[in-house]
Amino acid sequence: MNHILIVEDEDFLIRVLQDNLATESFTTDVARDGYEAMDKIRRDRPALVLLDLLLPKKDGFEVLEEIKKNPDLKLIPVIVLSNLGGDADLKRALSLGADDYFVKSQHPITEVVEKVKEYMEGGKAVKPR
């Protein structure tokens, strides 16, 4: 399964991620806030989640914590893709269970896509039931 959930509220970044991931034959879905993200994660069980931390309604830290505390979801890899670049934010996300962390302004999309490919092709992504 090559299904990725993009949890992001910036339209431009959503389009760029979807286009780049589609080029690599990944299918994507989008959630624009934390509540929608959790609904889609529970329902669809994506192989991997790309998660922004600054989201409306429920922030990415809460989403990450909820994923990693749920025995049925905790093995889904979560790659944080955020504008928050502070050491405290990075440490908090990793302590909550993030598998990787990219600061949007410091990493080109191609680097993020390469990391996604590593997870998907390297067997780290969650397999379908």
**129: confidence class by pLDDT, cuts 50, 70, 90:** very low
Return the beta strands (E) in 12-116 as ranges: 27-31, 48-51, 78-82, 100-103
| pLDDT of 128 strictly over 60 | no
* Dihedral sign computed on CA atoms, order 80, 81, 82, 84: positive
* All structural domains of the chain with their residue ranges: 3-121
The CATH class that applies to domain 3-121 reads alpha beta
Tell me the per-residue pLDDT of 57-99, one tens digit each, with 9 for 90 and over: 999 999 999 999 999 999 999 999 988 777 888 899 999 999 9
**125: confidence class by pLDDT, cuts 50, 70, 90:** low
Which two structure tokens, joined as six digits, stand for 53? 């931390």
Contacts of 24 (CB under 8 A, 6+ apart): 113, 116, 117
Q: What pLDDT is recorded for position 75?
A: 94
> What does pTM read for this prediction?
0.91
